[in-house]
Structure 1
Amino acid sequence: MAQRLRVASVPAGHPYVERVMASSDLTVQPDPRPVGAPEGQWWPPVVLAPGWIDEHRDQADVLHLHFGLESFTPSELVDAVEAAHRVGWPVVQTVHDLLNPQLANQTPHLAGLDALVPIVDAVVTLTPGAAHEIETRWHRRAVVLPHPRLLPDDLVLPRGVARDVPVIGVHLKDLRPNVDGLGAVRLLLVALDGLSRQGVPATLEVHLHRQVRDQEQRDAIRALCSGRGDVVLLEHDRFDDEALAHALAHLDACLLPYRAGTHSGWLELCWDLGVAVAAPEVGFFAEQHDDPTIGGFAWTDGGAGLVATLAHLLRSTPPAGSDARRRLVAERLRARAQRDAETATAHDDLYRSLLPSGAAR
């Protein structure tokens, strides 16, 4: 029987992390709560604060870095890795984002990658394309382990409600820096008109948080959506897991409104719910699943390509609310369970390969 390994993960309480570290032979240490933070908040991550690793050297065997690294300077990140090595912890970094979707200025994020990727003991990423870029930039061979399911296990996956015409959706959330909400809505309006000319009427559902980072863009989106009977603008608070699943499940296709990015958890949510995805031809979204229900579009062609992509996706995907959608979701759930179990085992194996024999406590 394998000896249990204890992992200090940054963070621990995140759905991605919980899924990929679900091996029964791993114990993931809970996130230390930052001073003054509410229950459940892990950021800024205490594990990387000066002195924490030295003070807790006997509580973990491995350090794994995922998210929240922007809270620290490159020199502070280097200090944390050196502290981990000093106490005998190998350090693994998963490069989720080659560009940080939350930041307008990428310089700090890139400086953090430049500092960390060359000195950690192993690098993980999610797609072959990202691995190739990591090898090109930093001459490090990354282990490719796919994105896991994000929806909770105890959530009964909805299959949506049947509609008379297909529903295409875009979730703009709070208009973070990598989201081009206005550009996405403009392209989708062109696409609606193009689909209609092809005899494929559809409706557009635009979701927007009540609190946004760019109020001027929000106002322009409101103006674009007003006065069209085939467009519904829904402004709401951030969805919880169940509300989000239901909001996505009744769509027939969902457009990702990202001008830049690397990988997408939103795409994974849609895949689990049987919703087709129109993904921009940036980053490595298309590599997350080899599936005809994921199609690409270019921001620069004025929407012409998006018409063809959406027409293909609507033909390739069982409509919301149908028995065929239910069967597709069940099939994907089975495939996801197997793949996620393999990914969790691969993380366990990776950690053990980095430890000296008998080092686990």
Structure 2
Amino acid sequence: MPASHPYVRAVTDERSVDLRPDPPVPGAAPGQWWPPQVLLPAWLEAHAGEIDLVHLHFGSESYSADDLAATVDTLQRLELPLVYTVHDLENPQLSAQEPHRAALAVLIAGANELITLTPSTAAEVERDYGRASDVIAHPTLVEDDALPLGRPSTTTRVGVHLRDLRPNIDGVATTATLVRAVADLRAQGAAVEAVVRMNENVRDADTAASIDALARTADGVRLERAARLDDDALAAWIADLDVCLLPYTHGTHSGWAELCYDLAVPVAGTRVGHVGSQHPGDFHTYGLGDPVSLERAIVDATAPAWSVPGSAARAAEVARRRTERREERERVRQAHVALYRRSLRTESAA
């Protein structure tokens, strides 16, 4: 759960797993899955005979640690295994992390089985919470085999999408660092330009205004402010880039890094969480407020021939990765099925 999330659908082998739909949320719009009703003890009591186990991915921030402790207690009493995938050791949607860490402690201690996405995340979970995890890679979420290859350009294009300025995105520092790095590279004779994009609707209008002031007058930097892109439009936007910049200040993993990998677009990212461990060969580190590190990251990221949008090398790399990712997704699904079966055997033995 949530069953409607694209990640959950991607890891589910429907040949072996009956993924139940998200229960409707009283008073919410149709299709809204949060707050997840499956975590409510009353819902579990009423529907225990319809399910074999609960696999929690997202949505725990809807409840307090005490609420989740009641959920764990109910699952144990009903002899329903809990599988928990630790996506976020730090929650990107929150500024203060204490409530999230308290919830993590409850869920990690109470889960029958734990999954993490990278070995480095598993090591942190074992160090801080004393539990071992199965490491199962983040699969591709892309269904379409005809991926965009980007449009050719005479310049190196570096792009950052600040989205709606959620708490783990430092839009001002990212934009300031990018503006300075681009100015320095252009002063050295490099044909480089940057695009900074934000959604029309953002969480902080004052921050958006500061970003606008930084980018509007900067040479070689273009600011885009428009409606939220749908999945196809976002893929096309990223594919046009030589380098995609990630603007995170905290977090653990990144779905954007996965999409960039599918599109063969190198990533420049901050040293946050375990994003760099997802696809280390494509990840180039920079520091917020350190334009020299970003200059270096841009130069390193654009060294491979396949980084160039619209090129034959990019097309060949995207095709190679598409085959690799389809095969990986099948392994990921099989690994989940094996873990579910193990958790059910363990619960039965208990």
TM-score, structure 2 normalization: 0.96
Which residue is equivalent to 2:231?
241
Which residue is equivalent to 2:285?
296
Q: Distance in 2 between matches of 1:118 and 1:49?
A: 18
Q: Is the 8 A contact 1:206 1:232 kept in 2?
A: yes
Which residue is equivalent to 2:149?
159
Which residue is equivalent to 2:297?
309
Which residue is equivalent to 1:338?
327
Q: Distance in 2 between matches of 1:132 and 1:45?
A: 29
**Does 2:175 correspond to 1:206?**
no
Give 1:187 deviation, angstroms: 0.9
The residue type equivalent to 1:203 in the other structure is E
1:294-339 CA-partner distances (Å, limit 9, x unpaired): 2111235x21111111101111243111111111111111111111
Q: Secondary structure at the match of 1:163?
A: coil
Q: Secondary structure at the match of 1:167?
A: strand
Q: Distance in 1 between matches of 2:32 and 2:187?
A: 49
Q: Distance in 1 between matches of 2:249 and 2:156?
A: 25
1:69-110 CA-partner distances (Å, limit 9, x unpaired): 011111111111222222221101111011100011111111
Q: Pick from 196, 208, 221: which aligns with 2:211?
A: 221
Q: Distance in 2 between matches of 1:197 and 1:255?
A: 21
Give 1:120 deviation, angstroms: 0.9
Q: Distance in 2 between matches of 1:358 and 1:210?
A: 49
Which residue is equivalent to 1:77?
68
Q: Is the 8 A contact 2:81 2:344 kept in 1?
A: yes
**Does 2:175 correspond to 1:185?**
yes
Q: Pick from 285, 299, 307: which aligns with 1:318?
A: 307
Gaps of 5+ in 1: 1-9
Q: Pick from 274, 283, 299: which aligns with 1:284?
A: 274
1:185-242 CA-partner distances (Å, limit 9, x unpaired): 1111121123224432211011101111111111010001112341111111111111
1:248-295 CA-partner distances (Å, limit 9, x unpaired): 11111011000111110011111111111001112111110132x321
Identity between Structure 1 and Structure 2 (%): 40
Which residue is equivalent to 1:19?
10
Give 1:358 deviation, angstroms: 11
Q: Is the 8 A contact 2:80 2:347 kept in 1?
A: no
Q: Is the 8 A contact 2:243 2:307 kept in 1?
A: no
Q: Distance in 2 between matches of 1:358 and 1:347?
A: 16
Which residue is equivalent to 2:260?
270
Give 1:340 deviation, angstroms: 1.0
Which residue is equivalent to 2:159?
169
The residue type equivalent to 1:184 in the other structure is T
Gaps of 5+ in 2: none
Give 1:41 deviation, angstroms: 1.3
Give 1:156 deviation, angstroms: 2.8
Give 1:357 deviation, angstroms: 8.1
Q: Is the 8 A contact 1:100 1:106 kept in 2?
A: yes
- CA gap of 1:134–1:252, structure 2 versus 1, over 3 A, is same
**Does 2:54 correspond to 1:63?**
yes
Q: Is the 8 A contact 1:121 1:354 kept in 2?
A: yes
- CA gap of 1:188–1:357, structure 2 versus 1, over 3 A, is closer
1:127-156 CA-partner distances (Å, limit 9, x unpaired): 1111111101110001111111122x1363
Q: Distance in 2 between matches of 1:263 and 1:85?
A: 29
Q: Is the 8 A contact 1:155 1:242 kept in 2?
A: no
Higher helix share: 2
Give 1:23 deviation, angstroms: 4.8
Which residue is equivalent to 1:4?
none
Q: Distance in 1 between matches of 2:116 and 2:103?
A: 16
Q: Is the 8 A contact 2:116 2:122 kept in 1?
A: yes
Q: Is the 8 A contact 1:92 1:121 kept in 2?
A: yes
